[in-house]
Amino acid sequence: MKKKIAIYPFYKGLLPLLLEDGELHNYELTYAIVPKGWESFEEVEDKRKNLICDEESFYSEDLMSNIDVLLLCKPLFQVDKSIYSCITALAEEKGKHIIYVPELEPVFNHSGLEGWECLELESSCTTKSNELASIDVPVILIMGMGENCEKWDVQLKLCDSFRKEGYKISLISSNPLSRLMGYHTIPSCIDSTHLTFTQQVENINAFIKNIEQIESPDVIILGVPGGILKYSSAAPNGYGYLPFLVCNAVVPDITILSLYCGNYEETHLKEIKSTCLYRFGVNIDYYHISENVCLYNSEARQLEYYSVDHTYLAENISDFQADMLTFNSSNSDSREGVFKRIMRELQDNIPAI
């Protein structure tokens, strides 16, 4: 029997959990709790909208009694732990199980989390082999310019598209929330401070090989955490370390790079393609243009994000970008067009011309 789960705070980046609710493994999404003054989700269709609940109503109607599990998430902008105090106190009072995403550990200063479950990355077994195993099923790699460029959305929609065609998928996701859907995550060795780079590469490779052997998928979809480049000297974006790690662990057959919203010139996309080739050894086959814009706020000294409407992309993606094989995950035509093209390429085992 599935456990009833509520998510707090619910924000735009968590929409895949709402829209793919049937995919939640062991859980039934009961409430998506939105704090006062946050997103309105007017565009969500009615049958899913009834899962969205404002925080005040959640308390006043004693909806905590209707759930088994409270999932705490962290939005992309800065929050203080005080926003969680009321709801977690109530959850603990009513004996509810609390799960939280790893990004909340610094918010809570690593304290006050006793008794709660962290939705950690999967742990990987340490391999003694110092030879990389060949991955014998096609691997589709999804990388991103940085955080919040809809990589997760692309991963889930790609899974969905392949599954509808009858293929068996193993998703190794960049987002720990994928575990709620029964998917794998990139192994925790990527955060290790005591493994060498070589050991991390070998562990990731062994992890993927293990999944291949156990699950025998038709294709592996691999979401790469982090961004491919530093944004600026003030915003290092991980310096591209995690993509470099993963690209050394596996040779992808198809690579999708998710970019922030923008009207990219042909030369710019070609430069990005060259950078990925020489830096990571991967050939970018497709570009996903997300609806999210990333800006550096020099006063606050942080990266900030906002989203545009998908109609902006439809109206403003220029012709050459279509030829450069770009798509947006909200635009079903461009998205399915690219996904079908990927399937054909993999079926034919040669690039489609």
Partner 1 sequence: MPFMPFKTRPNLYYVYDMNRNSIYKIRQHQYEALNHIKNGCNEDVDINVLKEFQSRGLLAESPIIQIEHPATQVLEYQLDRCVNSITFQMSQNCNLRCGYCPYSNNGIYDNRSHSALNINWDTLQQGIDFLVSHSKDVDHLHVAFYGGEPLIVKKLIIDTMKYMLQKVSGKEISFGMTTNGTLLDDSFAREVSDFNISIMISLDGPEVVHNKNRTFADGRGSYEAVYRNIRHIHENYPQLYKKLKFNTVISPNSNYQEIFDYFRKGEEIGDLSKVNFNTLSLNYTEAEFIYEDTYFEERNYEALKAYLLLLGKLKEEPVSYHKGDIETIFSYKEFISPISGTPKISHPSGTCVPGLKKLFVDVNGNFFPCERVDENSSLMKMGNVRDGFNIDKVREILNVGSVTEKDCKDCWAFHCCSICPASADNGKDEHYSESYKLSKCNRVKAVALENLKNYTMMKEFKYPFKREEIML
Residues of this chain that interact with partner 1 (CB under 8 A) are 9, 12, 35-40, 55, 75, 77-80, 83, 232-233, 261, 263, 293, 298, 301, 304-309, 312, 316
Q: Which is nearer to partner 1, 37 or 166 (CB)?
A: 37
For residue 89, give Cα distances in angstroms to 97, 104, 109: 12, 16, 17
- Would you give the distance in Å from CA 71 to the centre of its chain? 17
Nearer to partner 1, 35 or 187 (CB): 35
CB of 35 to partner 1, least distance (A): 4
Is 136 within 8 Å of 217 (Cβ atoms)?
no
Give the C-alpha separation, 313 to 150, whole Å. 14
Residue 2 CB, nearest approach to partner 1 (Å): 28
Phi-psi category of residue 214: left, alpha or beta, with phi > 0 → left and psi -120 to 50 → alpha: alpha
Q: Which C-beta is closer to partner 1: that of 108 or that of 312?
A: 312
Closer by beta carbon to partner 1, 58 or else 183? 58
Least distance from partner 1 to the Cβ atom of residue 195, Å: 30
CB of 31 to partner 1, least distance (A): 16
CA-nearest of 222, 211, 227 to 133 is 211
Q: Are 266 and 322 in contact (CB under 8 A)?
A: no
- Burial class for 142, CB neighbours closer than 10 Å (0-12, 13-18, 19+): buried
Question: In angstroms, rounded to a whole number, what is the distance separating the alpha carbons of residues 214 and 206?
Answer: 12
CA-closest candidate to residue 159, choices 20, 317, 322: 20
- Kindly tell me which of 156 and 303 has the beta carbon lying closer to partner 1: 303
CB of residue 316 to partner 1, shortest distance in Å: 7
Q: Which residue has the tokens 């918010």?
A: 107
- Residue closer to partner 1 (CB basis): 77 or 239: 77
What's at 133, amino acid-wise? A
Q: CA-to-CA distance for 84 and 209, rounded, in angstroms? A: 39
Q: Least distance to partner 1 from the beta carbon of 284, Å?
A: 21
What's the alpha-carbon Rg for the chain, to the nearest Å?
20
Cβ 163 vs Cβ 218: under 8 Å: no
State in angstroms the smallest separation of the CB of 36 from partner 1: 4
In this complex, which beta carbon is closest to partner 1, that of residue 109 or of residue 196? 109
Q: How far is the CB of 110 from partner 1 (least distance, A)?
A: 21
What does DSSP assign to residue 1? Answer: -
Nearer to partner 1, 280 or 305 (CB): 305
- Number of other residues whose CB lies within 10 A of the CB of residue 240: 21
